[in-house]
Amino acid sequence: MTPLSNLIKGQAYGLGFDLVGIATLGPAQTAVANDEWLEKGYAGEMAYLHRGAAKRRDTRLPFAGATSAIVVGLDYGGRSPSGPVARYARGDDYHDLMVRKLDALHVSIEVAAGHDVVGKAYVDTGPILERDLARRAGLGWFGKNTNLLNPGLGSFFFIGALLIGLDVEPDAPFDEDRCGTCTRCIDACPTGALVEPRVLDATRCISYLTIEAKFEIPIEFHDAIGSLIYGCDICQEVCPYNIKFAQELKVPEFEPRAAIAGKDADTLARDILAMNDEEFRVAFRGSPMKRAKLRGLRRNAAVVLDNMGGKS
């Protein structure tokens, strides 16, 4: 490990990241698979995935002049109990927090280099196949539930990348597949969204149906949604690596906000249905849950209450 790469990793861990690896930018190994996934219609209404498809084929394209990626992981507490809201969305928006941390890392790299370094932070906000980069940076392998799995952390972590115009010694890619013959995630998915190992039909996924989809949720999925109002963690919860290695929540910003904390599905669903637009804005300011908008959350809440016998 060179002094520069060692310094970068030290700074990243100092900023609170749980994982950090370095990759040289170039053609994405999963580009063909991504194109095939889009062609099969598995992206559903997520048209932005089609618009950015060309740039996703090569990680040098999203940001001109970048040659290396510092890829990080930030844990969000897989030991937290299950609930009506997926663990990642209970607190503040991870995009904002991670971009701030990556921007701080960028500054520290420029100080170490002694000159300006072009760079840009990406956290689910650009045309990048982040899992591809993360595997290339040695952070883990693709689980059969399509999540990136780290052998000592599981999968309850966010992925971010800082693309920089600086040649930094890369880490060895993670080439192993440690899922073996296990199919717990596939077997546990209540809607059959995992159509084969490492292939997700998003149009059947509860996370997609309760977050990304703008239409009414097809009746065939209502029972499977159960008490889930926003997102789903089932395929992660049953994974042996998460059962063994998931961490306690340690990032204060990811603690459940007041609108969610301590509420069961029935209470939260009724609260959401009773909210007006201003109450929604106040309760979920800076929350990932704003993505579904109040209309989407009301739709989800109505399905959950119906599942619980609340016909009224």
Catalytic residues: 124
CB of 67 closer than 8 Å to CB of 60: yes
CA angle 74, 78, 80 (to 5 degrees): 125
pLDDT digits (tens, 9 = 90+) for 227-242: 999 999 999 999 999 9
List all residues 6 or more positions away from 32 whose beta carbon is below 8 Å from its beta carbon. Answer: none
Helix (H, G, I), strand (E, B) or coil at 19: strand
Residue written as token pair 């991670």: 98
Burial class (CB in 10 A: 0-12, 13-18, 19+), 222: middle
pLDDT digits (tens, 9 = 90+) for 221-277: 999 999 999 999 999 999 999 999 999 999 999 999 999 999 999 999 999 999 999
**Cα of 301 vs its chain's centroid, Å:** 23
Cα 189 from Cα 169, distance rounded (Å): 40
pLDDT class of 94 with cuts at 50, 70, 90: very high
pTM confidence score: 0.96
pLDDT class of 116 with cuts at 50, 70, 90: very high
Q: Which two tokens stand for residue 129?
A: 């196949």
pLDDT digits (tens, 9 = 90+) for 140-197: 999 999 999 999 999 999 999 999 999 999 999 999 999 999 999 999 999 999 999 9
Cα 131 from Cα 145, distance rounded (Å): 13
